Amino acid sequence: MKVVLVFQPKNTLHLETMSIEKKVRKICCIGAGYVGGPTCSIIAYKCPEIQVMVTDVSQERINQWNSDKLPIYEPDLDDIVKECRGRNLFFSIDVEQAIKEANLILISVNTPTKTYGMGKGRAADLKYIELAARTIARVSDQSKIVVEKSTVPVKAAESIINILKANVKPGIRHQVLSNPEFLSEGTAIRDLLNPDRVLIGGEQSPDGQEAIAALSDVYGHWVKKEKIITMNTWSSELSKLSANAFLAQRISSINAISAICEATGADVTEVAHAVGTDTRIGSKFLQAGIGFGGSCFVKDVLNLTYLCESLNLPEVAAYWQQIIDMNEYQKRRFADQIVKCMFNTVSNKKIAILGFSFKKNTGDTRESPAIYVCKYLLEEGAKLQIYDPKVNHDQIMWELMKPEISENPERVKELVEICDSPYHAIEGTHALAVCTEWDEFKELDYKTIYNKMLKPPFIFDGRLILDHKMLQEIGFHVETIGKRLSRPPVCRPYANSVQ
């Protein structure tokens, strides 16, 4: 939408509002993170005639996007960026200029859980979204399509609309769309290239429908029409929260079953397989483990419980809260299992932690269950030797020294060593614990590892990825989630359970 000065026959100056441009020519993305970076790279890759400018407040982040070492690790992302960067994909710190030039703006800023005030620990903090909306209102000389891409609470679009309406220059009418991102880290490029669906929510008005059509055209370059679902804004926002809550709920469900398996002698892998072969249930997201992490699941489920409480739906809030409680229980249970098996004390014992990212194929540590396993073991006085193939050393220390994780950061420095290889990490340890399912952990030379560890050597497989039989034959004492391994027990963590 453009404001034009139209000279009327009687020479009177008249302000006229023009509708948004129907075709997307230039995109500005606000926020060059895990969502904005990969999403815009794929848009640029698939739509060579659209210029895509990805912006961020962090100069360092932008420098990294413009370098050979991208700020995030994501399989196949490097190749896509190399192909498009400088052609129709650009990274810049100049947010305002990029907003001015674009006719479509993607808001992909972070929306962490609030750490203060009302809704502390549960509601999403929308301060970055608000700032982005205010900047758009302040610098835009034309009407734009503003797309909410970050995962946000239901009705966040309304806040953006209100901020835009209250601050825009005369004659300008932006359209706000909700277009939640469903990519999964580690498979972002695959997910973006071949999404299950693209969701676009917008105002149910002719202008709103025009904006939806313009964004649909962008995706139409590579996504089949049937997969582009349009709906009202609030449905779109709630769909994203619900999808993540359903996925998290499946993981908490199978983790709850894993506890029953350990107590009864059932095998969680067999149960998951049997349950998952029911086509109504399906086999995905039934992998038991040490709990879910990542930037979305914990935040979105907490967000949903907060929404329910705000809507005076306490029973519904309690239902979703239980998904989080089960996840906490599972992380704690794994750490407890380590302590109990190691003769009820890990004080001053060295334990190797293999994997620190929240899942394989990413360097992201947000809400990683490994953080909490380390926290509980550190509280017991264990010395940790941590290795992860993709997470920076500083990042690991930063996570463990956060005030909510450790009351005594100096003690963390004393007890934690970050290692460059798994073999370095297991040197002189009593136990090793697999906290992330990196493929390389399956291929390690466990005979060498056995020789380098103190005896008896314990392996705690928190992700059910190792060959337990082979490890037992080498001589390890192996513990895992959701199954009892047949062996003469050095100890039984669940001694009073049903045999």
Q: Among 392, 390, 393, 410, which residue's Cα sits nearest to residue 401?
A: 410
What are the phi and psi torsion angles at 418 (to 5°)? Answer: -100, 135
345 binding ligand ADP? (CB under 6 A):
no
Q: Which of 28, 47, 261, 296 is catalytic?
A: 296
419 is catalytic: no
Out of 71, 195, 294, 457, name the contact with ligand UDX by CB under 6 A. 294
260 interface partner picked from ligand ADP, ligand UDX, none, CB below 5 to 8 A per type: none
Tell me which DSSP letter residue 142 carries: B
- Of the residues 41, 64, 110, 429, which one makes contact with ligand ADP according to CB under 6 A: 110
- Based on CB atoms, which residue is closest to ligand ADP, 96 or 207? 96
* Strand ordering across the sheet containing 26-30: 89-92, 51-55, 26-30, 104-107, 145-148, 175-178, 198-202, 228-232
Crossing angle between the packed helical segments 369-379 and 393-400, to the nearest 10 degrees: 60
Determine contact, residues 434/355, Cβ cutoff 8 Å. yes
* Contact call for residue 247 and ligand UDX (CB under 6 A): yes
Q: How far is the CB of 188 from ligand ADP (least distance, A)?
A: 10
Q: Is 185 in the site for ligand UDX (CB under 6 A)?
A: yes
The answer for residues whose C-beta is within 8 angstroms of residue 1's C-beta and 6 or more apart is 17, 18, 19, 20, 21, 142, 143, 144, 172, 173, 174
Out of 359, 383, 477, 484, point to the residue binding ligand UDX (CB under 6 A): 359
Instruction: Based on the shown chain and the rule CB under 6 A, indicate whether residue 61 belongs to the binding site for ligand ADP.
Output: yes
Q: How many CA atoms lie within 13 A of 105 on its CB side?
A: 33
**Binding to ligand ADP in span 245-304, by CB under 6 A:** 295
For β-strands 198-202 and 416-418, DSSP reports them as unpaired
CB 404 within 8 Å of CB 373: no
Binders of ligand ADP among residues 20 to 59 (CB under 6 A) are 30-36, 55-58
- For residue 451 the two structure tokens come to 């020789």
Q: Which does 32 bind (CB under 5 to 8 A by kind): ligand ADP, ligand UDX, none?
A: ligand ADP
* Three-class secondary structure of residue 198 per DSSP: strand
Nearer to ligand UDX, 293 or 457 (CB): 293
Question: Could you tell me which residues are beta bridge partners of residue 434?
Answer: 354, 461
Helix axes 77-84, 36-46, angle to 10 degrees: 50
Work out what residue 95 binds among ligand ADP, ligand UDX, none; the CB cut-off runs from 5 to 8 Å by kind: ligand ADP
Q: Does 480 bind ligand UDX (CB under 6 A)?
A: no
Which entry of ligand UDX, ligand ADP, none binds 45, CB below 5 to 8 A by partner kind? Answer: none
Q: Is there binding between residue 139 and ligand UDX (CB under 6 A)? A: no
Q: Give catalytic residue positions.
A: 296
Positions touching ligand ADP (CB under 6 A) are: 30-36, 55-58, 61, 95, 108-110, 128, 131-132, 150, 295
Positions touching ligand UDX (CB under 6 A) are: 181-185, 244, 247, 251, 285-287, 289, 292-294, 296-297, 358-359
